[in-house]
A and B are shown apart, each in its own frame.
Chain A
Amino acid sequence: MSRQYSAFALARHALQPDLAWERAWASPDPKPSYDVVIIGGGGHGLATAYYLAKNHGVRNVAVIERNYIGSGNVGRNTTLIRSNYMIGGNTAFFEHSMKLWEGLSHDLNFNCMVSQRGQIVLAVNPVQLDTFARRGNVMRLNGIDAELLDRGEVMKLLPYLDYSKEARWPVYGAIMQPRAGTVRHDAVAWGYARAASNLGVDIIENCEVTGFVMDGTKVTGVETSRGRINCGKAGIAVAGHTSHVAKMAGLRLPVESHILQAFVTEPIKPIVHHVVSWGAELFYLSQSDKGGLVFGGHIDGFNTYTQRGQFPRIQTVAECAVSLMPFVSRLRLLRHWGGIQDMTPDGSPFISRTPLKNLYLNGGWCYQGFKATPASGWTYAHTIANDDEHELNRCFSLDRFEKGRELDEFGIGNWTYKQ
């Protein structure tokens, strides 16, 4: 059990430098059996375990992670959170997530550094601004904050963009969600791990799931690199490895694994005070507390499980940065890395039951899984505990393509990312 963090604890440790901080979460050996085994200790797996214990009183739970906590996409993303979705289903789900973010640091007793600095999405032609107005109206009708900015207002907020006559993509205006922003991503993993562990969840690191033990269509346990672990129910939450793990249970999914890269420049003084996204290309940028500009773009574009990005994508993303913010050309790129995303046909995720009785699926998060973490864990825990979807995640069912219920937020049909 790790103690409550507080200003007093901080003072106590400051006055007694020899006093060691306790481990944030326990590191037990796996028990022979659990009520629920969650496969994958990323943001979604840990949040699910936490809400199983907290909301549903299911505490005999293990989270099984093949690597260390935070090694997956939860520690690799560009940390953006927002709830500016337009399609029925997405709108309510992501707003629920935003509300959970707003109280998360207190709920977990862990400072997740939730920073609601606002996200500004730039329109580069008048038609785009019209579609932003429509999106903003849908958001406001759902009680979500959205503001339409004209060019002059954008110039005041983002004076460093290219407003010259030569700008390849002139700025016509923008849509802003003031409550959007960034969250320190590894704090989210650590915070959920610690809070779940405090409620009795076993977090088992360096333990890879290698197979399922089945009795007909029922899962009775998982085979792992640390031996067999029996379970009443099993939940998959392995992000880019979704196809691989589902295959162990004989499932074939509407998923391809692709790499997305992220980039950080050398640190500079504060200049970008918001999250800035671009309408001309998929490109988004924010400035970290250390001063580095953090940005990303599209996936590389072919299936891969290697976390090694290709050079042409680095070039494209750097070109976007310079086209939008010319001063970036004077900065050096400090680091770049990749994470493996599970891409789905309509760009929307799965939080769902599966054809197997007591096996559940959370995956297919594409570009958008970090902002979803709290609501994903919240609704997935509900789905596992009740063997039924919650109203908020019913739209994310695995069989939606068979039923013709694609959730196509981009409005350009299936396989958005291949077009």
Chain B
Amino acid sequence: MIIPCPWCGDRDHSEFRYGGDATKDRPKHGTGDLKEWHDYYFLFDNPKGPHTEYWQHVLGCRRWFRLSRNIATNEIGGLA
């Protein structure tokens, strides 16, 4: 799989670290009950389709970015 780094361009996915679902909103510090934090931390949509996710070019420029990828096909939709 080839991942498009916004800085370095197309690179093999083995240069990157996967950061997971990028659509979840972290509750603000000091707010929210345990249920809210539980849902934020533990639950995932894990959709069989388009997914917005974090990647870090850890063996390159080390930049974090958001990518859209279809989890059902691995088709890359571009930066998100």
Which chain A residues have a beta carbon within 8 Å of chain B's beta carbons?
A: 241, 243-244, 247, 252-257, 301-306, 308, 310, 312, 345, 401-402, 414, 418
Contact = CB atoms under 8 A, between A and B. Distances in A.
Contact of B48 (A305, A308, A345): A305
Contact of B44 (A241, A243, A308, A312): A243
A244 B72 CA distance: 11
Contact of B43 (A241, A252, A257, A301): A252
Contacts of B45: 243, 247, 252
B13 A241 contact: no
A405 B50 CA distance: 32
B23 interface: no
A414 B38 CA distance: 12
Contacts of B41: 414
Nearest to B73: A306
A241 B72 CA distance: 11
A243 B46 contact: yes
Contacts of B51: 303
B34 interface: yes
B12 A256 contact: no
Contact of A303 (B13, B35, B39, B46): B46
B75 to A, nearest CB: 10
Given A304-B71, A402-B38, A244 B48 contact: yes
B5 to A, nearest CB: 15
B77 interface: no
A301 B18 contact: yes
Interface string B9-29: 000111000101000000000
Given A303-B53, A310-B13, A312-B14, A255 B74 contact: no
B1 interface: yes
B20 A418 contact: yes
Q: Which of A252, A304, A308, A310 has the most CB of B within 10 A?
A: A304
Contacts of B34: 402
The 7 closest A-B pairs by CB, nearest first: A312-B14, A243-B46, A302-B18, A254-B42, A252-B43, A244-B48, A401-B42
A34 B56 CA distance: 49
A114 to B, nearest CB: 34
Contacts of B12: 312
Given A303-B51, A401-B38, A257 B46 contact: yes
A244 B71 CA distance: 12
B34 to A, nearest CB: 7
Nearest to A255: B46
A314 B33 CA distance: 43
Nearest to B72: A305
Contacts of A256: 20, 44, 46
A241 B73 contact: no
A171 B18 CA distance: 32
Given A244-B47, A402-B35, 11 more contacts: A243-B48, A253-B43, A255-B46, A257-B71, A302-B53, A303-B51, A303-B53, A304-B74, A310-B1, A401-B38, A402-B34
8 contacts: A252-B39, A252-B44, A254-B42, A254-B43, A257-B48, A304-B74, A306-B73, A312-B14
Contacts of A305: 48, 71-72
Contacts of B72: 305-306
A342 B41 CA distance: 17
Contacts of A345: 42
A301 B13 CA distance: 10
Contacts of B48: 241, 243-244, 257, 305
B12 to A, nearest CB: 7
Q: Which of A303, A401, A414 has the most CB of B within 10 A?
A: A303
Given A305-B48, A305-B71, A305-B72, A312 B13 contact: yes
A254 B20 CA distance: 13
B21 to A, nearest CB: 8
Contacts of B46: 243-244, 253, 255-257, 303
A248 to B, nearest CB: 11
A240 B50 CA distance: 17
A304 B74 CA distance: 7
Contacts of B14: 310, 312
A304 B73 CA distance: 8
A254 B44 contact: yes
B38 to A, nearest CB: 5
Nearest to A315: B14
Interface in B44-80: 44-48, 51, 53, 71-74
